[in-house]
């Protein structure tokens, strides 16, 4: 079950960093507005951490997205580096503050 949470963690981070396509439908925009904000993404990641993933896996994934050549097309998307920096900022805070997903 832990592997599932690690995979889910990767999917959530990649979807957030990728963002919306330029030709997104109104339904996709509405769903992104409802579920694709930083608070909801951090809540999902914290749930995956609670269920078996680790903070180190999150930080390693963020570092891999920033540096690995396989994610170069993702980094070329408009605004993806800013969203990646938001996640890095959130997960590099103090350990007690990282569990507060409601702010």
pLDDT in tens, 27-78: 999 998 888 899 999 999 999 999 988 888 999 999 999 999 888 888 888 8
Q: What is the pLDDT of residue 98?
A: 52
How much is the pTM?
0.82
Where residue 103 falls among pLDDT bands split at 50, 70, 90? very low
Identify the CA nearest to 17 among candidates 70, 88, 68, 69. 88
How far from 92 is each of 6, 8, 24, 81, CA to CA, in Å? 18, 20, 32, 16
Would the pLDDT of 100 be above 70?
no
């Amino acid at each position: 079950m832990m592997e599932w949470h690690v995979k889910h963690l990767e999917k959530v981070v990649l979807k957030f960093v990728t963002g919306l396509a330029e030709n997104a439908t109104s339904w996709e925009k509405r769903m992104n507005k409802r579920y694709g904000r930083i608070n909801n993404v951090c809540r999902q990641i914290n749930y995956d951490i609670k269920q078996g993933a680790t903070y180190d896996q999150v930080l390693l994934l963020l570092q891999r997205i920033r540096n690995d050549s396989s994610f170069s097309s993702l980094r070329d998307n408009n605004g993806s580096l800013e969203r990646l920096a938001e996640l890095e900022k959130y997960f590099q805070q103090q350990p007690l503050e990282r569990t507060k997903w409601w702010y």
